[in-house]
A and B are shown apart, each in its own frame.
Chain A
Amino acid sequence: MTRRPTAPPGEELVLDPIACTGHGLCAELLPERIVLDDWGYPMIDPQVPASLREHALRAVKACPALALALRQARAG
């Protein structure tokens, strides 16, 4: 859940918890970074290294609620 302070600012996953309806599709497509909580809502490790970018984009596109986004990580 928490961002690792040492990771270089690359891209990160951002979830809109209001839009998210807990379909859980994202966790199936990106299990390396997303696991579901006990109620079916995603818990996200936001750092996305280049090696995971493809999968992350797929998860973003698959979200039926448009609740997931990939954006440039803010420094710090």
Chain B
Amino acid sequence: MSDRLLAGLAGRNPVGLGRHLAVHGPMPDVTSELVREVTRAGLRGRGGAGFPAGIKLAAVAEGRRPVVIVNGTEGEPMSAKDRSLLRRTPHLVLDGALAAARAVGAHEVLFCASPQANAVVAAALAERAAGSRREPRVTVLESAPGYVAGEETAVIAHLEGRAPRPRVTPPRPAQQGYRKRPTLVQNVETLAHIGLIARHGAEWFRERGTSDRPGTTLVTISGAVQAPGVYEVASGMPLADLSRLAGGLTEPARALLVGGYFGAWVDEDGAGMTLDDADLRRHGAAVGAGVIVVLGASACPVAETARLAGYMAGESAGQCGPCVHGLGSLAGVLDRFATARTVPGDGERLVRWTEMVSGRGACAHPDGVARMLASATRLFRTELEEHAHHGACSGCAAPATLVLPGPSRARAAA
């Protein structure tokens, strides 16, 4: 099924220009017509928010001296799709980034990714230099660490030399972004799709996927599966089929975390849902950045959720009161549940504060955490009560499934 973005890839090494062109065909000349083609394709952003790419391209194309930023920050700890694309098929991401730049009339493209990914992109650029026409200028820059550093206004702040913290919007980057210029911030995977839409067109793109989310989607599957990794699937695939795709389960599953750390916990069988926002939304979930974590039955959902809440509270950029205090308070309640130290009223506080923090920050960080916690409260109700009354379960001491990096520099600077 890995037939589009991941086509022709074998192993971990980057595909060279010759092979890239052999697999995907030559890049056509790109004009502003591509904006309409992307709109017709119905491509949604793959960085998490799912915003229609065509609308953003059109908005940026209207402004003067626009810039394109390739967002390869991938702050989501259990996502690997963006670095996988950059390191394995850098020419496809470059095709998309340069095509987007030409379509909106930008002469400058800024890549923001890890040093390893940037090195591969730089090598790919060098490979092209010989045949280059009047291409937009590409600069590669190191991304900042931390969960919030990938938020688009934080990326812009970082590239401007300031701390990688979000700012209040509006104005959105499309109106006023990098150095006050109209800025197209697009996820790495989104741009790779644009590299293919430029070649094959909107009709072709829509042959796969759903009407709400056309095309294929990269998912990063991890946890209790035999073959964790990055897979390409048609949007709309049943969640129940995802673990089979990753080689099957290593043990019976207890739950799935769908959409990453801003996502939702759902029943281990996927509750009949598919990888499509129109479907997932009804259950309080979303595709997000395509992260799927299978929590095995030997793990403890309460301990995992409590640790995750603590991590996410620590990743707050420390600017907005409800985010700083709200997420901190929520992490505290969950920790009390996990360690049988609840005080009267904690159950109500968990529900009340989860609702209270949503929509209260300059960025969507509190909203994402609230979504994850609301799903945990729904799905793990029994386990939460058991922990509150009896303390640690047998799974509490199991190795952590959710990967939680150490506190980020972004936080230290806050």
Contact = CB atoms under 8 A, between A and B. Distances in A.
A42 to B, nearest CB: 9
Nearest to B356: A37
Interface stretch (A5-13, A17-25, A26-34, A49-57): A17-25
12 contacts: A17-B168, A17-B319, A18-B167, A18-B319, A21-B321, A37-B326, A37-B360, A38-B329, A39-B326, A39-B329, A41-B325, A43-B356
A1 interface: yes
Interface residues of A, number: 13
Interface residues of B, number: 17
Given A17-B360, A17-B361, A17-B362, A39 B321 contact: yes
Interface of A: 1, 16-18, 20-22, 37-41, 43
Contacts of A41: 321-322, 325, 360
A39 B167 contact: no
Interface string B354-371: 001001111000000000
Given A17-B323, A41-B325, 5 more contacts: A16-B168, A20-B321, A37-B356, A39-B325, A43-B356
Contact of A38 (B167, B323, B353, B359): B353
Contacts of A37: 322, 326, 356, 360
A43 B361 CA distance: 11
B271 interface: no
B320 interface: yes
B330 to A, nearest CB: 11
A18 B168 CA distance: 7
The 7 closest A-B pairs by CB, nearest first: A39-B325, A17-B320, A41-B321, A18-B319, A22-B321, A41-B322, A18-B362
A3 to B, nearest CB: 11
Interface in B296-349: 319-323, 325-326, 329
Contact of A18 (B320, B326, B329): B320
A38 B332 CA distance: 14
A22 B362 CA distance: 15
Interface in B172-202: none
A1 B325 CA distance: 18
Given A18-B167, A18-B168, A1 B359 contact: yes
A43 B320 CA distance: 13
A73 B352 CA distance: 29
A51 B66 CA distance: 44
A43 to B, nearest CB: 7
Contacts of B323: 17
A39 B326 CA distance: 7
Given A16-B168, A18-B319, A43 B360 contact: yes
B168 to A, nearest CB: 5
A1 B323 CA distance: 16
Contacts of B325: 39, 41
Best-buried of A16, A21, A38, A40 by chain B (most CB within 10 Å): A38
Best-buried of B167, B329, B356 by chain A (most CB within 10 Å): B356
Contacts of A20: 320-321
A16 B322 CA distance: 12
A10 B361 CA distance: 24
A18 B167 CA distance: 8
Contacts of B167: 18
A22 B352 CA distance: 19
Contacts of B329: 38-39
B168 A40 contact: no
B320 A39 contact: no
Contacts of B321: 17, 20-22, 39-41
